[in-house]
Amino acid sequence: MALTSALQQSRTILRNVGQNYLKNNVRIFSVSPPVPNKKEVQVTFIKANGEKIKAKGKVGDSLLDVVVNNNIDLDGFGACEGTLTCSTCHLIFKKEDYDALPEKLTDEELDMLDLAYDLTDTSR
């Protein structure tokens, strides 16, 4: 889930499901303004209650890096610290962004997603 230039001008919906999604859905949008020649991407996280959190990440960072580096206030994520062995990080992308992600899903990633709440076809 590295941030790439493909994401720079696109919108991403992410969802943190470290909470009961029925009550506390966290949706995260990323609206990245064009940043030519700068290797920084702006990501906007939108929580379930509508709260927006803007953060910057460098191209090549994972979105978990963005959350951690910016100390973003989400409840419960990254239990396994990005080693693909838990399912506390769950992102939901817009179809076009999902399709544009350069790293395709592995079986192992799908296996973890199968345990996540509120799984969608564009979940990562």
Partner 1 sequence: MKTSSIVSVPKINITYIFCYKMKSKLWLFKRLYSQQLPPSPKICIVGAGPAGFYAAQHLLKKIQDVQVDMYERLPVPFGLVRFGVAPDHPEVKNVINTFTKTAENPKLRFLGNMTLGADVSLEVLKKAYHIVLLSYGSEECNQLEIPGEEFKNCINAKRVVGWYNGIPKDRNLEMDLSGENVVILGQGNVAIDVARILLKSVDELRKTDITSYALEALQKSKVKRVYLVGRRGPLQAAFTIKELREVLKLPSCSTIWRKEDFTDVEKHIPKLKRPRKRITELMLQSVNENKVVEGQKEFRPVFYRAPSRIEGYNKNKVYMKAIVLCKTILEGDTDHIHKMRAISTEDEESIDCSLVIPSIGYKAVPADTDIPFDHNKGIVMNQHYKVKKGLYVCGWLGTGPRGVILNTMNGAFEAAEVILKDISEGHLTNEPKGGFEEVKKGLNNQVVEWKDWLKIDKVEQEEGAKLGKPREKITDLAEMLKVAAS
Six-digit token string for 61:
């960072």
Nearer to partner 1 by Cβ, of 7 and 27: the residue is 27
Residue 45, SS3? strand
What is the Cα–Cα distance from 16 to 108, expressed in whole angstroms? 19
Residue 62: DSSP 8-state: B
Q: Is 84 left (phi over 0), alpha (psi -120 to 50) or beta?
A: left
**Count of residues of this chain found to bind partner 1 when the rule CB under 8 A is applied:** 29
Six-digit token string for 79:
């239990």
Nearer to partner 1 by Cβ, of 40 and 75: the residue is 75
From the list 5-13, 35-43, 58-66, 102-110, the region that binds partner 1 by CB under 8 A is: 102-110
Q: Which residue from 7, 15, 18, 27 is in contact with partner 1, where contact means CB under 8 A? A: 18
The residues binding partner 1 (CB under 8 A) are 17-20, 47, 49, 51, 75-76, 78-81, 83-88, 107-108, 110-112, 114-117, 119
